Amino acid sequence: MAVLLSGLCVVHCVSTIALVAILSSAGGMLLDPLFHEIGLGVAIALGFFTLGRGVLDHGYIMPVAIGSLGLGMMMGAISIGHDSGHGGAEVLYTMLGVGLLALGHDLNYRATH
């Protein structure tokens, strides 16, 4: 039993070190502005397609208006940048934009179903 417990302790320690090393390496990539710009481009393309298709299906413009406002806030947030000293504002505007985009998608879903 003691050997098993010692073995589990070694596995735990090694896996914790490996996990922390992987997360610290990935953290640098996640802060890269290019990562955010590509993600925003994908969000704009998907939003255009899904919200636009919803308007064609149900005819209501409100989901597109709210979703577009959210995308616009996300674009504004990315223009603030990490290094401008306004990091808190960037996070706030991004979260508000994502929330508005999600609300637009929810309104689109409700209007369709």
Q: What is the pLDDT of residue 110?
A: 92
Residues 92 and 38 in one domain: yes
Q: How far is it, in rounded angstroms, from Cα 110 to Cα 9?
A: 51
SS3 content of the chain, % helix, strand, coil (to 5): 90, 0, 10
Residues 11 and 23 in one domain: yes
Q: What residue numbers bound the domain in which 24 lies?
A: 1-30
Q: What is the pLDDT of residue 84?
A: 59
Confidence of residue 23 (pLDDT cuts 50, 70, 90): confident
Residues 53 and 12 in one domain: no
Residues 37 and 51 in one domain: yes
pLDDT at 107 over 90: yes
Residues 20 and 64 in one domain: no
Q: What is the pLDDT of residue 27?
A: 64
Please report how the helices 33-58 and 62-80 are oriented relative to each other, as an axis angle in degrees rounded to 10: 170
Q: Which two tokens stand for residue 25?
A: 């390496």
